[in-house]
């Protein structure tokens, strides 16, 4: 299978042959740069431009790997902060330095997949193992249906107390859990052609994966070839119950990891490469959120758009949100009052909004972005707003725009636009902290 590697927002360097039609589900992740019929008249071929999705995308006989625009060490660090996984960026720099020539990219992307798997496996701790009913034999204590023939055989041997029975029991020894255990075993025991990157993984990550491997004690690995085929069928036909839907993400990552390991069955058939995608806009928003939670101290608090809906202590904010939304509906505006973050001044039980912030994974703000944050500020009665965007060069770029309302004399909203370099996470976080504290202290 041919592999093409591009970065976010970049165009594929060559045309990709399409014989059976471009997968509809992949149109979310790419734009068509060019399309033309193949010279042999068999299908067509396309050039694609990646969007803000880092991942692995199989298209017929081609696999497109979309790498992050920033160095992988920085990307892994940002991903870890976004998922609340604490680690020093120096550890990721060790990962990114491992590998030679073509294997280097495979190893670094693989390292990213290990972190993603570690995060997704936490759902098993939170919500439980997927279990399936299975017939279980028992002797002595009667459970379920008595097996007459086996019981008579026991009696004939003089074992008069041994009554054989059979019953259904929910067990975690399932194809899904066997594939997960096998994947972890391959990772931790060196089942990869070049396993150097495992040696330099952060100790915390290795320890976490080892601990998760122990969860699968009692699950016996059998014919892994059949188990993987069964899991592929389970994913394709969505055979997992809604209460355990998080298994889809875990199993998908496992199959991608096994394909990167170039693990082969006895029949010499490789594991099918599956798609895997990370929305960098979501990662960036969560990364900014994790920074804000670290730097904002009393008497100020920060609340993100998801948090305020579920916590009773933010009733004041929810009421403010509801009142603003009612005004929004009356004006029939296309903008909804859902800012990414709001910083409040908290005094006793009262909350006063002081600064509204929005994070956008874009190099330059659009006019819609500015109108949106102005709308947030106007509706919430805030006079300070901040738009946080990434920069992909070495410098931070900071500017302030002042919005004056033609309807309200003397009303001004200061909008600070921060384009902060993702090439230095430390400087990104320090600059964001300093700029926020400047606004709050004015």
In the chain, domain spans: 1-67, 81-130+173-263, 132-171, 281-441
Alpha helices in 160-273 (DSSP H): 175-189, 196-199, 203-214, 224-236, 246-260
User: Across the strands, what pairs with 37?
Assistant: 44
298, exposed or middle or buried, with CB in 10 Å at 0-12, 13-18, 19+?
Answer: exposed
**Pairing mode of beta strands 16-18, 2-7:** unpaired
Long-range contacts of 181-184 (CB under 8 A, 24+ apart): 181/213, 181/216, 181/219, 181/221, 182/221, 182/224, 182/227, 183/117, 183/254, 183/257, 183/258, 184/209, 184/212, 184/213, 184/216
pLDDT at position 261: 58
Separation CA 251–CA 235 (nearest Å): 8
In this predicted structure, what is the pLDDT of residue 135?
52
Residue 259 CB partners (closer than 8 Å, separation 6+): 270, 271, 272, 273, 274
Q: What is the pLDDT of residue 322?
A: 55
Round to whole Å and give the CA distance between 97 and 80: 18
> Among 54, 59, 56, 60, which residue's Cα sits nearest to residue 75?
54
Give me the pLDDT at residue 321, please.
55
The whole-number pLDDT of residue 264 equals 46
Radius of gyration of the chain (CA): 27
The whole-number pLDDT of residue 90 equals: 52
Give the DSSP letter of residue 44.
E
pTM for the whole structure: 0.67
Could you read off the pLDDT tens digit of each residue along the chain, which spans 442 residues?
A: 688 889 999 999 999 999 888 888 788 889 999 999 988 888 899 999 999 988 778 788 888 888 889 887 788 788 777 765 444 445 445 444 433 233 444 445 666 778 778 888 999 999 999 988 765 555 666 555 666 677 777 767 777 667 666 655 678 999 999 999 999 988 887 544 444 445 556 677 888 999 999 999 999 998 888 998 899 889 878 899 999 999 988 888 888 777 655 444 444 445 555 566 778 898 899 899 999 999 999 999 998 877 655 544 455 555 555 554 454 444 444 444 678 899 999 888 788 899 999 999 987 888 899 999 998 898 888 999 999 999 999 999 999 999 987 776 778 899 999 999 999 989 999 999 999 999 999 8
pLDDT for the residue 307: 67
| pLDDT number for residue 87 | 45
């Amino acid at each position: 299978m041919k592999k093409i590697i591009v970065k976010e927002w970049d165009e594929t360097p060559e045309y990709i042959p399409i014989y059976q039609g471009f997968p509809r589900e992949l149109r979310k992740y790419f734009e068509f740069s060019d399309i033309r019929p193949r010279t042999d008249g068999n299908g067509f071929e396309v050039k694609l431009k990646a969007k803000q999705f880092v991942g692995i995308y199989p298209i017929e006989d081609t696999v497109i790997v979309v790498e992050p625009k920033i160095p992988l060490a920085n990307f892994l660090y940002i991903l870890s902060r976004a998922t609340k996984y604490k680690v020093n960026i120096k550890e990721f720099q060790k990962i990114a330095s491992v590998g030679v020539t073509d294997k280097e990219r495979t190893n670094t992307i693989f390292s990213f997949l290990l972190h993603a798997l570690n995060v997704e496996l936490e759902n098993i701790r939170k919500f439980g193992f997927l279990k399936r009913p299975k017939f279980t034999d028992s002797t002595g204590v009667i459970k379920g249906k008595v097996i007459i023939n086996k019981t008579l055989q026991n009696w004939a041997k003089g074992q008069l107390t041994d009554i054989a029975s059979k019953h259904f029991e929910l067990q975690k020894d399932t194809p899904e859990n066997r594939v997960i255990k096998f994947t972890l075993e391959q990772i931790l025991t060196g089942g990869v052609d070049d396993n150097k990157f495992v040696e330099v993984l952060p100790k915390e990550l290795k320890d976490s994966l080892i601990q998760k491997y122990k969860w699968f004690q009692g699950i016996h690995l059998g014919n892994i070839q059949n188990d993987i085929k069964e899991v592929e069928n389970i994913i394709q036909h969505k055979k997992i119950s809604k209460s355990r839907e998080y298994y889809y993400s875990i199993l998908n990552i496992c199959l991608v990891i096994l394909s990167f390991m170039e693990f082969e069955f006895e029949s010499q058939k490789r594991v099918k490469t599956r798609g895997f995608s990370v929305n960098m806009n979501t990662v960036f928003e969560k990364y900014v959120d994790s920074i804000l939670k670290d730097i904002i101290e009393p008497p100020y608090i920060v609340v993100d758009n998801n948090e305020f809906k579920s916590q009773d202590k933010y009733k004041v904010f929810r009421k403010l949100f509801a009142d603003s939304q009612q005004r929004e509906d009356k004006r029939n505006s296309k903008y909804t009052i859902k800012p990414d973050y709001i910083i409040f001044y908290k005094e006793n039980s009262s909350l006063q909004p002081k600064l509204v912030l929005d994070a956008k994974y874009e190099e330059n703000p659009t006019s819609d972005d500015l109108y949106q944050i102005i709308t947030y500020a106007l509706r919430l009665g805030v006079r300070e707003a901040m738009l946080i965007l990434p920069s992909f060069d070495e410098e931070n770029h900071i500017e302030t725009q002042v919005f004056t309302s033609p309807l309200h004399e003397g009303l001004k909203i200061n909008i600070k636009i921060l384009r902060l370099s993702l090439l230095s996470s430390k400087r990104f976080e320090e600059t964001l902290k300093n700029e926020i504290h400047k606004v709050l202290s004015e």
